[in-house]
Structure 1
Amino acid sequence: MTPSIVCGIDASPQAHQGLNLASLLAERLALRLVLVHAVPAATPDLLLTAPTRVPTNVDQIDFVGRDTGEQLLDQAADTHDVTGDERRLEIGNAAERLCAVAHEEQAEFVVVGSRGVGTLHSAVLGSVSTAIIRDAPCPTVVVPPAMAGPPLDGDRIVCGVQDDEDGPAVTTALRLSRKLKTQVTLVHVLPAGVEVPPAPPVAAPDANSGFEDAQRHALQSMRSLLEHASSDRRGEDEQHRIRFRRGDPTRQLLELAASTEAVLLVVGSRRRGTLRAGLLGSVSRELVRNADRPVVVCRRKPPT
């Protein structure tokens, strides 16, 4: 089976943005595009919260949900030239079904739209995207409701790096950069009050006697990750950069992405546990909520 991109769709404008990006990524990465719409399982509980003038029994709710879902899939498929076999109408929890389809379809990315901050449904969508990021077998691409520019129109990908457990994020950023013909900027954000070292070239020697231990370790980690991820592509990654910033990680990553007109932000996120994981989780969550460009979230490599 050819690998795929799985895209969750519904009737919202945000889902339309996600579908447009998923279609472009599928074309650029030579992957199948699989469209998924999840219909909540009809239960008597739905009747208690349903507005008036809607179906009045479980069977009717189930039929209407399926019919609406089929129409959404048909419209999206017609617009983006998706065959019948690549349309999946699923019954059940949206996050669970999207993750299950991602497993079945050998997905390399799951793409979902984001409603951003301040809307009635943002908490619900946040729980769905958080669950997908946590449980999907591949990186999750979260597309904001308002894009800073045309999708994938630029020459830079910004990748946040905390330490050497961010190998999956770096590998994903480099793979995307090759297919999209962009370069990668690896960024490590230092705490406020810590001196920011000069940005070294990727191939610079490791002698950094003026750096603090934490700075030196971060630099070595980024160089090691970059070298490992690009070891089979010598000569193709010469334009990738390493940068240090200082302050709030979310703000610094967003500002750098804006100033470089990055087409994607790539970050790592752990499933659970440890204080550092909670901090990183909050960064990825805030990026997803506030970014004006797509955010690719990769599960970090667990410590050995």
Structure 2
Amino acid sequence: MHAEEYPTTAAVPMASEEVQQRWADALLDEVAGTLRERHPGLEVTTLRRGGHPSAALALEGAEADLLVLGSRGLGAVAGFLIGSVGMATVAATEQPVVLVRAPASAEPAPDAGQPAGGGGVVVGVDIYESCVPVLTFAFEEAARRGAPLTAVHAWTMPSALLYPVLDPTLRKDIAEQVAVSLSDMLLPYRQKFPTVEVIEKPVLGSAAGQLTAAAQGADLVVVGRRVRRAPLGSHIGHVAHAVMHHASPPVAVVAHQGQ
């Protein structure tokens, strides 16, 4: 799909709307032809829409199982350069959205049908939130790929317990409680997806930093985004925002209602 908002003023000289439409159609034909050549068994269709790109993408994405957006790479710096269109689309879409970083020019393109990473699927888990869509998506992807799934939950010590000196026994007890809670949350999914190898990773530290670190070398990292319907509009949490910008593999953002 290609969406483009045409300007309503002539302040900046540019090609006519008809010329832009022909250019967009030619671009779509070229991309579709390349995809059909690489994936001969895949049905590929094209769609061109006018209007604001984020609104048009979110509207079409609402009828899809998955929406995939590209992202300009940062060269030697691992991560994404997320523009306003990408951010607005993610915030407005309740279907899963996958952001795929454009490879640096020196990187060889992966063979058709082959994952770009090799480290399986990584999912961020909040043991205090109901995040069924996030875990379901992550387990389904791991099962489909025949890949291991690393479930990461990052925790921090309560601030009231940090002063003056934290009892090492108390820290150990809290860590054990967190690990048990993570195992309990994952148990129903282990039973539903018995072929998926699950690596439980409760770690001390910030959620954004630990999840981004765990994602290095993965094929896919999955994060949740709580759906908030407020007068100020949609919202992307700080963890999802950080992972979208700094994780090097494709990032799946899965909306969920939370508690």
Give the TM interval when normalised to the shorter protein. 0.7 to 0.9
Q: CA deviation at 1:74?
A: 0.4
Partner of 1:113: 70
Partner of 1:295: 251
Count of matched residue positions in the alignment of Structure 1 and Structure 2? 230
Unaligned runs of 5+ in 1: 1-35, 196-208
User: What's the Cα RMSD here?
Assistant: 3.4
Q: Distance in 2 between matches of 1:257 and 1:291?
A: 6
Shift in alpha-carbon separation, 1:221–1:100, aligned structure 2, 3 A: farther
Q: CA deviation at 1:253?
A: 1.6
Unaligned runs of 5+ in 2: 162-170
Deviations 1:275-294 (A, max 9, x none): xxx99711211211122111
Kindly provide the amino acid, as one letter, of the partner of residue 162 in structure 1. Answer: D
Q: Distance in 1 between matches of 2:51 and 2:181?
A: 42
- Percent identity reads 25
Alignment of 1:75 onto 2:5: no
- Report SS of the residue matched to 1:211: helix
Partner of 2:164: none
Alignment of 1:253 onto 2:211: yes
Deviations 1:198-242 (A, max 9, x none): xxxxxxxxxxx9532x862x4344334322234333x313x2011
Q: Distance in 2 between matches of 1:103 and 1:112?
A: 14
Q: Distance in 2 between matches of 1:85 and 1:184?
A: 30
- Report SS of the residue matched to 1:87: coil
Alignment of 1:140 onto 2:97: yes
Q: CA deviation at 1:169?
A: 1.5
Shift in alpha-carbon separation, 1:221–1:166, aligned structure 2, 3 A: farther
- Report SS of the residue matched to 1:132: helix
Q: Distance in 2 between matches of 1:247 and 1:279?
A: 24
Alignment of 1:158 onto 2:122: yes
Partner of 1:128: 85
Partner of 2:166: none
TM-score (norm 1): 0.65
Kindly provide the amino acid, as one letter, of the partner of residue 39 in structure 1. Answer: E
Shift in alpha-carbon separation, 1:301–1:272, aligned structure 2, 3 A: closer
Partner of 1:199: none
Alignment of 1:98 onto 2:63: no
Alignment of 1:236 onto 2:195: yes
